[in-house]
Amino acid sequence: MMPWSDGYLTANDGARLYFRTIGDGPNSVVFPNGIYLADDFSPLADGRKLIFYDVRNRGKSDAINDAAKLKRGIHNDVDDLEVVRKHLRIGTLDVVGHSYIGVMVALYAMKYPEHTNRVVQIGPAEPEQGKEYPEHLRCHDAKRAEVLGRVGQLIEQRLSGDPVEICKKFWAVLRELYVVDPANAHRTDWGRCGLPNELNFMKYWTEHIVPSLQGLNLSAADFAKAQAPVLTIHGRKDRSAPYGGGREWALRLPNARLVTVVEAGHAPWIENPGKVFGAIGTFLNGAWPETAEKIESLDMPA
């Protein structure tokens, strides 16, 4: 069994962030907002130390009631990652970000290029929040419509009662969105419904995180600041973050390549672990995986 430990570290404004480490290898890899990934990604701990932590106001990190400590949204998370790096005495970061945290780790590479070694984005949200991509660069299929419809019905029902049970009902529906094969849906139960921060996440998401993503307006000069190698991994049938967004990151970042997982959604490591973990392992060891493509154009054959 891999050695592990956990604890708290303190952000610049006093907010405590919960973290967990797995493995004791000489090379550290940090997973912001990655506690829900710990079990699946533990094989990468062979020869490495993996550090998973809950970003502010999430998971087991401190609940924050002071709006001033939340209003910067994703930008708080960028600066908190720098605090994590300093606290753990890491010279330059190897960092892995999934979903909207895939945006955050790219922003970190832009703001702190001197402290960034290698970056992995998995199913990252698009650089321009809400951008509409052509049909062959997104997955707005029947399953997506069905799941979102069922979620809408739950909202309309104005469910009352135990918030934990309500959370579980939502996740029983929502988790089907993230995989292609419904048999794998149970492995994307990321709600952590027993934690108060997660029960209140949607309020934080809509009031602070989404506006900060919408206000990014990244320029070519911004992208150019990120000089570290970036490996973007994206499921071709991602219903949550459009595949076009993954292509766009790999196109616009100056030193990035894309691994496409054709029959996979928002959790590509579940449906093709060999391809995903093989690519990440090769990349963290200092080389581009053979499956990584240099993107020359946002578009591709339909």
In a domain, 110, yes or no: yes
Round to whole Å and give the CA distance between 35 and 84: 15
Residue span of the structural domain in which 230 resides:
4-134+208-284
Q: What is the pLDDT of residue 300?
A: 81
In degrees, rounded to 5, the angle at the alpha carbon of residue 46 between the alpha carbons of residues 44 and 49 is 75
First-to-last C-alpha distance (Å) of the chain: 46
Residue 218 token pair: 């990244």
Run of H or E residues at 205: none
Instruction: Please give the tally of structural domains in the chain.
Output: 1
CATH number for 249: 3.40.50.1820
Please give the pLDDT value at position 201: 93
Is residue 28 included in any domain, yes or no? yes
How many Cβ atoms are within 10 Å of 222's Cβ, its own excluded?
Answer: 16
In-domain check, residue 32: yes
Q: Does any domain span residue 174? A: no
For residue 74, tell me if it sits in a domain.
Answer: yes
Whether 58 maps to a domain, the answer reads: yes
Beta-bridge partners for 216? none
Question: Using an 8 Å Cβ cutoff, are 58 and 201 in contact?
Answer: yes
Beta pairing class for 16-22 and 4-10: antiparallel
Q: Confirm whether 289 is domain-assigned.
A: no
pLDDT tens, 26-37? 999 999 999 999
Give the distance from CA 100 to its chain's centroid: 5
Q: Which residues of the chain have pLDDT under 50?
A: none
- What's phi and psi for 26, nearest 5 deg? -75, -20
Q: Which residue has the tokens 């999934």?
A: 98
Strands 93-98 and 16-22: unpaired
Closest CA to 57 of 202, 179, 183: 202
Contact present, 257 and 147 (Cβ < 8 Å): no
Residue 276 resides in a domain: yes
Closest Cα to residue 105, out of 80, 131, 128, 86? 80
Sorted by sequence, the CB contacts under 8 Å of residue 120 that are 6+ apart come out as 94, 95, 96, 97, 105, 230, 231, 232, 233, 280, 283, 284
What are all long-range contacts of 206-214, with beta carbons under 8 Å and residues at least 24 apart?
207/70, 208/70, 208/71, 208/72, 208/73, 209/73, 209/74, 209/100, 210/73, 210/129, 211/73, 212/72, 212/73, 212/74, 212/75, 213/73, 213/74, 213/100, 213/103, 213/125, 213/129, 214/129, 214/130
